Amino acid sequence: MEKTLVLLKPDCVSRSLVGEVVKRIEATGLKIIGCKMIRLDGKILAEHYAHLSDKPFFPRITEFMKSTPVVALVFEGEDAVQKLRDECGVTDSTKAEKGTIRGDLGKDIQENLVHASDSVEAAQIEIRRFFKNSEIFEYEKRK
Residue 115 known to be catalytic: yes
The gap from C-alpha 111 to its chain's centroid, in whole angstroms, comes to: 12
Nearer CB in complex with ligand ADP: 109/138: 109
Which amino acid is located at 117 in the chain?
Answer: S
CA distance 22 to 91: 18
Q: Where are the alpha helices (DSSP H) in 30-94?
A: 42-48, 58-66, 80-88
Which residues, including other chains, have CB under 8 Å from residue 95's CB and lie 6 or more apart? none
Which listed range, 16-24, 31-39, 105-113, 124-132, lies at the site for ligand ADP (CB under 6 A)?
A: 105-113
* Segment 27 to 86, residues that bind ligand ADP, using CB under 6 A: 52, 57, 61
Candidates 89, 115, 117, 127; catalytic one: 115
Asked if 122 interacts with ligand ADP (CB under 6 A), we say: no
Catalytic residues: 115
Interface residue list for ligand ADP (CB under 6 A)? 52, 57, 61, 91, 109-110, 112, 115, 118
